[in-house]
Amino acid sequence: MSFCRGCRLAWIATMAACAPASTISEPTPGIIAYVTSPTVEITGGGAQLVMASVTRLNGFNGDVEVVVDALPEGIRAESSGMETADRVSSTLIAIVASTSVAPGEYTVSVRAIGFGVPDASVALTVVVSPAGTPVYTLEARPISAVAGASAIVRTSIDRGVNTKSRPVTVLVTDVPNGVGVSLYPETNVAAITTMTVVVGPNVLPGQYAIKIRGVSVGLPDRVATIPLTVLSKP
């Protein structure tokens, strides 16, 4: 079969007009779960805190809750009430070990439940050490700020019985481009270090992370990741 040039062009135009229009899919609403510290160390008969947070995505504005799954026998989790600011909810979870739990590493799952969207989970390693072992963790709630503004958040040094007076130096190890972070005091024998976060005017709205490290002589370093939400300017 042959077509004249004009017929061929007309046929192409007709087929193009009949072709189904491409569709642009909307982003799917959902949630992301975080824990500030991927590892928490406790002693038999003791407890340590870990901060869990849930970020809402793509227009999801529903309620959320956090549960801890796959807890081994002798370890339980107790969470405080949720605090919500700028689409991010957070809660402190106390991981409590009985004196009968054998020392070792255990993996549990911190699961965020958003009503109407799929669950989101993140792994948490629980290290149970013998009674009397010096332990501590670093915790801070998520941070929200508009580009060109600043925010202040308290970084908690959650100390075990044998680290109550041990100095801990808190260092900033990773910050997003255009964001400045300062800590005071950096070396602390108390429980609170104040973190000031300054977001540059050219930082785009979105989700970022700030990483800090705790250093104390004779103890393993502790690392914490703090979610940062940069908001659109009003």
Eight-class DSSP state of 180: E
> Of 2.60.40.3880, 3.20.20.80, 2.60.40.10, 2.40.170.20, which CATH number belongs to 28-133?
2.60.40.10
d(CA 69, CA 97): 15
> Domain locations in the chain?
28-133, 134-234
User: Which secondary structure element, helix H or strand E, spans residue 6, and what is its range?
Assistant: helix 5-18
- Do the domains 28-133 and 134-234 sit in the same CATH topology, yes or no? yes
For 8, 11, 13, 24, 174, the CA distances from 17, given in Å and listed in that order, are 14, 10, 6, 18, 53
pLDDT reported for residue 11: 44
Average confidence (pLDDT) per 10 residues, the chain, 234 residues: 49 49 74 93 92 93 95 93 89 94 96 96 95 88 93 89 85 96 89 93 94 92 92 83
CATH fold of 134-234: Immunoglobulin-like (2.60.40)
pLDDT reported for residue 158: 86
Pairing of the two strands 47-57 and 39-43: unpaired
Q: What is the pTM of this model?
A: 0.79
Alpha helices in the chain (DSSP H): 5-18
